[in-house]
A = this chain, B = another copy of it.
Amino acid sequence: MTNSGKTKARGLDRAFDILDHLCQAGAPQRPIEIAEAIRAPKSSIYDLVALLVASSVLEKIDGDGRVFLGPKLNFWSINYQKHFDLGSTVRPILQRITERTKETSQLCTLDGNKYYVAMMNEGSRPFRISAEIGERVPIPWTASGRLLLSHMSDQEILDFIPQEDFELPDGSRLDPADFLMSVRQAQDEKFFDFDSIADTFTHCFAAPVFGHDTVCRHTLCIIAPKEDAATHYDDYKNALKDGADLLAAKLLSGK
């Protein structure tokens, strides 16, 4: 993963691999399970897990040696958020969008070369759509992904996305050239929407939140049943764009 050749891997990288793996696993694991999943030497992982537990970056969950993400991560993240004030800035904006549209709204962003939902405000619908919070999803599967990559060149995008991520959940393959076109379309219109590819009955909308360098750092998005998406298309689009513009302004003004 981090280490493909014949050489030793750095402890830092291994440690971060452990954290990322536990995010993906979504549940406490034993050192040996982690080692196998990461494809890392067992003895190294035992060492590292002990170190990470000692510094509360990981936490012992049960008496059987299972560990999970620890409170130290929360501490660092709170300080991160204090600076960018994401939490308290975004929440009311999502609530406003859900109020206007009745749909579940989300703040999305990238982690490495994957997309994930960073914050979610559930709508009133009885059924629940969309990915779990914090779950990493291939970028081409998402409307937001088009926007989040739009500052990159075609070549950069192709280098950035793992080949296998063009395989859609239904087993078909998305043509990278088509994907690039949709990225450019999203870039031009500063908006993107399409029928979901995770299911057959919903439609995704996404609006970009630009940082100071005109790079799309986040998106606001909603996922709605197709019929509602069609009848309220302009309402939904405007609700998202308004929210995204407001959010960008607040983030840029430093408050």
Contacts and interface: CB of A to CB of B under 8 A. Distances in A.
Interface of A: 10-13, 15-16, 19, 22-23, 26-27, 48, 51-52, 55-57, 68-83, 86, 109, 111-112, 116, 118, 132-134
B12 A112 contact: no
A75 B81 CA distance: 11
16 contacts: A10-B51, A11-B11, A12-B52, A26-B82, A56-B112, A68-B83, A69-B76, A69-B77, A69-B83, A71-B111, A74-B118, A78-B118, A78-B134, A79-B134, A82-B132, A82-B134
Contacts of A27: 83
A156 B80 CA distance: 32
B81 A74 contact: yes
A128 B108 CA distance: 33
A153 to B, nearest CB: 20
A23 B86 contact: no
A116 B72 CA distance: 12
Contacts of A52: 12
Q: How many copies does the complex hold?
A: 2
Contacts of A19: 76
A52 B10 CA distance: 12
Contacts of A51: 10, 12-13
A11 B22 CA distance: 21
Given A10-B11, A11-B12, A57-B16, A80 B74 contact: yes
A77 B82 CA distance: 14
Nearest to A86: B74
| Centre residue among A71, A72, A79, A132 by max chain B CB count within 10 A | A79
A74 B77 contact: yes
